[in-house]
Amino acid sequence: MTDEPGADRLGMGLKEKGSAVLLTQCLTEQSRFTARNHSSLPLTATTTAAMAKTAVAYKEKMKELSLVSLICSCLYPEARNKMMGEFEDMKVKPINKRASGQAFEVILKPPSPTSEGGITYPPKKRDVSLEDIQKKLEAADDRRKSQEAQVLKALAEKREHERDVLLKAMEENSNFSKMAEEKLIMKMEHISKNREALLTAMLERLQEKERHAQVVRRNKELRDELSGDEDLQF
């Protein structure tokens, strides 16, 4: 009783050996065709010996592969069926069977109606009607209006922000000017008060000096009068 993995490996081996057999047969046929075409040309002894060795090596290899393939097909027929089952979309027809090998003709089968790998065609384009064109134009117009509204809204917000900034700057400037004016008025009032106080003090000093001068003059006059009366008495 054989195991399934062994059968799978054997099937793969058969496939590789079958490919090798086909390659060997092709090379053999090509070498024979080349030999026939060049038979009229003079060949040297070295060339003839090399070709003979190559032909002997090909024959030995083909015998070995044919024997191994025959033994494996007798021992494991299900592996061969499995290998052939992988090529359901083609037909293999043996031709030119010889002692040195066998050639095959590969015929592709037409695709069946139930096959999954059929040719897929692109979907047909639906005819564009006038209504579809009108809908597309309306949608484009709506998008344009929406974009314009967004741009206008952004510009309005920007202008509103600029206006707020300008008003705030004007208010701050007005407050600064008002405060500066108030400070200047207070300073002028203080200077005016100090000036008035200084003038008042100066006037009082002048008046005091004037009163003192009057007292001095009166006293002098009194002394002069007293001294004149004394002279008259003597």
Chain segment 21-79, per-residue pLDDT in tens:
444 554 455 445 444 444 444 445 666 777 777 777 766 766 666 565 656 555 555 54
| CA distances to 30, 155, 179 from 162, in Å | 91, 10, 26
Q: Which residue's structure tokens are 């003709």? A: 105
User: What's the rounded mean pLDDT across residues 152-159?
Assistant: 95
User: What's the rounded mean pLDDT across residues 80-91?
Assistant: 52
Top mean pLDDT of 9-13, 34-38, 86-90, 122-126 is at 122-126
Q: What is the per-residue pLDDT across 182-211, written as a single tens digit (0 to 9) for each?
A: 999 999 999 999 999 999 999 999 999 999
User: What's the rounded mean pLDDT across residues 139-150?
Assistant: 95
Who contacts 206 (Cβ-Cβ below 8 Å, separation ≥6)? none
What does R_g of the chain's alpha carbons equal in angstroms? 66
Q: What is the pLDDT of residue 126?
A: 72
Q: 79 near 14, Cβ under 8 Å?
A: yes
How far apart CA 187 and CA 203 sit, in angstroms, is 24
Q: How many CA atoms lie within 13 A of 167 on its CB side?
A: 6
Q: How confident is the model at residue 181 (pLDDT cuts 50, 70, 90)?
A: very high
Single-letter code of the amino acid located at 185? I
Who contacts 164 (Cβ-Cβ below 8 Å, separation ≥6)? none
DSSP sequence for 111-163: PPTT-SSPPPPPPPPPPPPHHHHHHHHHHHHHHHHHHHHHHHHHHHHHHHHHH
Q: Is residue 16 predicted with pLDDT exceeding 50?
A: no
Q: 101 near 25, Cβ under 8 Å?
A: yes
Q: How confident is the model at residue 89 (pLDDT cuts 50, 70, 90)?
A: low
| Domain boundaries of the chain, sorted by first residue | 4-108, 129-234
Q: What is the pLDDT of residue 44?
A: 56
